[in-house]
Structures are given as structure tokens and as C-alpha cells.
Amino acid sequence: MYYTQNEKILQVGEEKIIVGIDVGGEKHYARAFDWRGMEYLKKAYVFTNDAEGFAGFFEWITGIMEKSGKETVMPAMEPTGHYWFDLAKFIQDNGMQPVLVNPLHVKRSKELDDHLPSKNDRKDPKTIAKLVIEGRYAYPYMPEGIYAELRQHRTTCAAAQKMI
């Protein structure tokens, strides 16, 4: 899927909730915004990188959808290492389309807001969501079926070769 920036901006409409997710090794931080950048809750939602944490994240999103009356969610994250794979797969399996933002864009955009290059788990999800609202995102390739198995086996093979 290739879309121009204007087409991407048009995909972020009034009916969508944009969820910026700061992906971490053990914990993820999420914040929800409307298409204009207004935040639904003032506090970031923290969840763990496991099935229990993902289930809580889904309940959190569902609750915001019910309260706001919005129909769809656009979860966005920066692809940090391999930690985003499981979360993106969970998001896709639950009927949502994950999107990715460039980590370099996140770093540079963050500095525009407060003139500080420091990383902050509360600040990153907001920056990620703002980049999506501006149309600066991409759709990841998420293999399914045998192709997903091939990717998993290749990762396992590479890890085994490093041990030799």
C-alpha cells in the first residue's frame, strides 16, 4: 500500500481514535487522541508486553471507543527492535490496522515540542500520535500463514547460528 501524505491525512478522520504507543522491552505506554490531536485521557496507559497486558490494552481502547462514540482505532508505534512484532500481531488479530512511524522522526519532532532531546515514556506516545495525524506513517508488512512461519524459523535459525 503506497499512499501520498495527503491520502494518509484523509485516512485519519473524525471517526477514528489515534493511539500512540511507546514500545518497550517489558512495558508499553499508550495515549489516545482524536483526529485534531485532543487527548482523551490525561494519563498514559501502561501495559506489559504479554497476553495479559495486551488484553488490558484492548479493554482500555474499547472503553475509550464506547465513551467517545468513535468507530475505529488507528494504533501507531515506532518499530523499536523486535519488541513491536507481538503487539502489532495482536493489534492485527483484533481487527485493527497497526501503523509505524520512523524513529528518527519521533526523535526530531519531540525536540520541537519542548526543546529537549530527552526520552520520556509519557512524551513519546503523544509525538507518535501527532506524526500519524500529520500523515507521517507507514503500514507494516505483517506476513500471515506459511510466510509468518518462515519468518519465525529464520529468526530461530539466526539465533542458533549465533550460539555456534
Q: Are 131 and 76 in contact (CB under 8 A)?
A: yes
| Region class of 110: left (phi > 0), else alpha (psi between -120 and 50), else beta | alpha
pTM higher than 0.85: no
**pLDDT tens-digit profile of 20-71?**
999 988 899 999 999 888 999 988 999 999 999 999 999 999 999 999 999 8
CATH code at position 15: 3.30.420.140
Query: Residue 66's domain spans which residues?
Result: 5-163
Per DSSP bridges, beta strands 16-22 and 72-77 are: parallel
Count structural domains, the chain.
1
Task: Give the whole-angstrom CA distance, residue 109 versus residue 124.
Answer: 10
Which helix (H) or strand (E) segment holds residue 100: the answer is strand 99-100
Nearest alpha-carbon partner for 46 in 59, 58, 29: 29
**pLDDT tens-digit profile of 69-96?**
998 999 999 988 888 888 998 999 999 9
